[in-house]
Amino acid sequence: MKKLEKVPASEMRSILERMGLELMEGANNTRAEIWLEKSGHPHVLPYFTPNDANYFVKEAVDDLIEKLTS
């Protein structure tokens, strides 16, 4: 079983904003944030633990960055 790692969410939010993504308003999710490309395509970043918006799951962050840069 692979152990999950975490990434500071504040740093990742800054990177996503610089890449032109916007946080979906009104999502109010306790487990994840939804980020939208300018085209409207959504990307879900799960929190490392529910109700804790301080950290995202590193594997999900890595997957998203790979999708956005390939």
Residue-by-residue pLDDT tens, the chain, 70 positions: 778 999 999 999 999 999 999 999 887 799 999 999 999 999 999 999 999 999 999 999 999 999 999 8
DSSP string, 9-52: HHHHHHHHHHTT-EEPTT---SSEEEEE-TT--EEEEEBSSTT-
Domain positions in the chain are: 6-69
Predicted pLDDT at 32: 96
CATH 3.40.50, applies to 6-69:
no
| 3-state SS class at 3 | coil
pTM of the model: 0.88
Predicted pLDDT at 26: 83
Predicted pLDDT at 28: 77
